[in-house]
Structure 1
């Protein structure tokens, strides 16, 4: 039986910081970028050695700006990577010069160990393993072959049932117990890696989220072995299992008695099944079962740059936001404000199709209504919290002032696009902070300000697109009247739709943007 770790998967909150750590600092190679198999709007990056070998792969699901999880019972807690023992000094110096949090070196099971923390707080151990020789260590301009990470050394699992966890992994996946010390049972696989089962009885339970390890995948020789394992686990009533074709491997998932999620994954067909080795990790793969348009998927995924590539550094501004930079920027920008139930990714596909060469800026509303982000709270379906509206409009004005400076946006060449609650926010901001927004596209908008401030909106261009069968469409005229009375150039067009958006909205939006911005 093949035994060993295939890959380890964790969750990150900021993909750029994650890339900078695992590629830039640790020197791993980005070997694959995919949309998530369970959620196409979730970026999944895979790092590994130069050949993307099983046993070298560390993968991350990007929950961009997601909530932090909690490390605890029933969860892997540490990633260990193997280096040559004589490379410990190199990595100690490198960590100090890169301002990476670390402890050690210390001895663990007779091996020198440096403990680091990645940007999400995940513990990454660099272990000096005697006579280690990875199959294809990735060499970079500042990390020589002698110092490079060789492969995965192992992982630590927190369990309140350590004996049962060890027996399950040993009995099903070919690991054997080789040592025990300080509450840790060490299991060794056939490929030289280890799993440390820590007795964490009395510790708090884990919670999924960013900064946690989702699962450990163990190696299977082929699909038939995975399917046979599924039958064996079912016969033993070992709990729920599910099998998936992940394109690059075939696998099943199961939880060990302590609660940690394990995957059993085949080595074949491997990461080069759809890309040559020379260009691994250069293109996005979208799983076919979503039947999604790759343009829409890619627009919603967070962007990042590899070390040395041009990048936009995201600024700390009052609103969580997403910046999408096109390959060939034309000096224009589109600011996108989502509707109720949406978030900072919802309108990005619309923005990419509206203005392929514009920088897109998409903030997330900070008010929460029935669990959904909004730009201000409502009291009923057609009355709104005026204090919240005024306060959030002021915060949004400050956000745009910072964003214009941080991302080099030209207000005269920026189109503000809002849908539903986002459109209502734009309409309010234009009245409360005149001059901030010069060009606006309001999709299914209505007036939400109860008092009409006296303002001058001369030189402001507004297109309103109202659905003919939109139940809120009758409220659009009040906003049109108020903006026009303040001096704005306003056009309110009816489209054959309800509250939802369609192709007609995009066509009219394109023509409008071409006319006012070019």
Structure 2
């Protein structure tokens, strides 16, 4: 029977910091980057040995700017990686040199252990243990030594994981060690802890090795009386998902086809792959997914600014940057697909509004369904002014090639911002926007060009002429289009905005 861990999956809120730690500091190879198979708008990174061998794989779901999760009952809590037993001093020196939080070294079950924290706060244990892997990397851990499971019913969890080839090897305090042919599981009794909450720095699941599809089928049959199971084809392996008696998510994944099924060994990790069922959205997803640089590659600096934001850069940028303000319920990536069609060679700077309403992102608060909080609009406009000035300076953006594009709530806020802070926005496209200010100031907008596109059948902002007239009254050069559509965006919006931006920029 094939046994042991196939891979470990965690969650990160900062893709670049994650790459810097696992591919940079630890020295693993990035062997695959994909859009998630469960959610293609979520980047999924896979690290491993030189070939991405089962047992060496660490995978991370990228939840950009996500909140920190909570460690508690019903989850994997620590990740153990095998390193040469005599290298612990070297790893400690490296951690001290680059300022990585650490604890130890100490000894656990007779093995030297150095605990580190990755950028999201996940505990990564370097364990001095001789463990071979098919394609070792110089100076990197070889493979997964094991994981620690938090449970308040240790005997039940131990009994459940025994079906994956683990047997009891003894106890130290409240920790029971289970061993397979290749690695270990530590089951820690934590009665009285709060349940875990998903988020950055908290593991998602551990996957165990299955020899082949028949082994997955047999495992599912053996679990018929246990509870719900799911089987998914993840292209690189077929896997079964199940939860143990306390709710710990576990996976049973086949060794094949493996990471080289769509990339040659020398090319692993260089191409962004998307799930086959998302072929129609491939280009949109490439615009939305976060970008990063591998160690040694040229990278774009990330600045600390008042708003969560994300860049998407084309292969051959023309120097233009589109600043994108999403609608209610959107995020910094929402408008990137349509913006990429509007301006194929522009850099895209998506920004996330800071207000929330029933868990959805907005640019400012409302007092009720039809009444805007004007004080909040002004307050957020002040913060956005600092963001714009910081982005232009910090990222070296060309103010002469800057275009703002807002949709719905983002367009409402952008229109208000133009009037409250004249001069910071010289070109703006407002899609399905309306006048959000009750008594707008007498601003001088003579240096501002605006395209207003409304929908004649829009139930939320039927009359865009009021907004266009308000901007014209303050000196802005306004082009107004009323399309035979509703609140949704259409191909005509793309055509009109693209032509207007091209024409307006050419007048400089």
TM class by smaller structure: over 0.9
Mapping 1:17-416, distance limit 5 Å: 17-129=17-129, 131-139=130-138, 143=139, 148-170=140-162, 172-190=163-181, 192-234=182-224, 237-416=225-404
Inter-partner Cα distance in structure 2 for 1:179 and 1:313: 49
Inter-partner Cα distance in structure 1 for 2:47 and 2:321: 33
User: Shift of residue 238 of structure 1?
Assistant: 1.0
SS of match in other structure, 1:449 = coil
Of 415-424 and 290-299, deviating more is 290-299
Inter-partner Cα distance in structure 2 for 1:134 and 1:194: 16
User: Shift of residue 67 of structure 1?
Assistant: 1.8
User: Shift of residue 381 of structure 1?
Assistant: 4.5
Contact 1:339–1:421, Cα closer than 8 Å, also in 2: yes
1:85-108 Cα deviation digits (max 9, x unpaired): 111121111111111111111111
1:363-390 Cα deviation digits (max 9, x unpaired): 1111112321111122344431111111
Inter-partner Cα distance in structure 2 for 1:496 and 1:385: 31
Inter-partner Cα distance in structure 2 for 1:382 and 1:233: 52
> Which position in structure 2 is the counterpart of 1:512?
500
Measured at CA, do residues 158 and 380 of structure 1 come closer, stay the same or move farther in structure 2, by a change above 3 Å?
A: closer
TM-score when normalising by structure 2: 0.98
SS of match in other structure, 1:517 = helix
* Count of equivalent residues: 506
Inter-partner Cα distance in structure 2 for 1:516 and 1:475: 24
Inter-partner Cα distance in structure 2 for 1:452 and 1:79: 56
Unaligned runs of 5+ in 1: none
- Superposed CA RMSD in Å reads 1.2
Inter-partner Cα distance in structure 2 for 1:510 and 1:399: 25
1:430-473 Cα deviation digits (max 9, x unpaired): 11100010001010111111113111111211111111211244
User: Shift of residue 202 of structure 1?
Assistant: 1.5
Inter-partner Cα distance in structure 2 for 1:323 and 1:33: 18
User: Shift of residue 392 of structure 1?
Assistant: 0.9
> Which position in structure 1 is the counterpart of 2:450?
462
Contact 1:314–1:323, Cα closer than 8 Å, also in 2: no
TM-score when normalising by structure 1: 0.96
User: Shift of residue 230 of structure 1?
Assistant: 0.4
1:64-117 Cα deviation digits (max 9, x unpaired): 011211111010000000011111121111111111111111111111111100
User: Shift of residue 258 of structure 1?
Assistant: 2.5
Inter-partner Cα distance in structure 2 for 1:308 and 1:354: 33
Measured at CA, do residues 434 and 275 of structure 1 come closer, stay the same or move farther in structure 2, by a change above 3 Å?
A: same
Inter-partner Cα distance in structure 2 for 1:308 and 1:133: 27
Contact 1:162–1:258, Cα closer than 8 Å, also in 2: no
SS of match in other structure, 1:305 = coil
Contact 2:455–2:462, Cα closer than 8 Å, also in 1: no
1:279-303 Cα deviation digits (max 9, x unpaired): 0111111112234421111111111
SS of match in other structure, 1:379 = strand
SS of match in other structure, 2:223 = helix
1:470-518 Cα deviation digits (max 9, x unpaired): 1244431111111111111101111121110010000111101110114
Inter-partner Cα distance in structure 2 for 1:371 and 1:178: 46
Inter-partner Cα distance in structure 1 for 2:242 and 2:248: 8
Inter-partner Cα distance in structure 1 for 2:333 and 2:72: 31
Inter-partner Cα distance in structure 2 for 1:310 and 1:326: 15
Inter-partner Cα distance in structure 1 for 2:62 and 2:480: 40
1:364-420 Cα deviation digits (max 9, x unpaired): 111112321111122344431111111111111111011111111122211100001
Contact 2:456–2:463, Cα closer than 8 Å, also in 1: no
Inter-partner Cα distance in structure 1 for 2:275 and 2:440: 50
Q: Does 1:488 align with 2:476?
A: yes
Measured at CA, do residues 8 and 410 of structure 1 come closer, stay the same or move farther in structure 2, by a change above 3 Å?
A: same
Inter-partner Cα distance in structure 2 for 1:507 and 1:259: 50
SS of match in other structure, 1:483 = helix
SS of match in other structure, 1:417 = strand
SS of match in other structure, 1:293 = helix
Unaligned runs of 5+ in 2: none
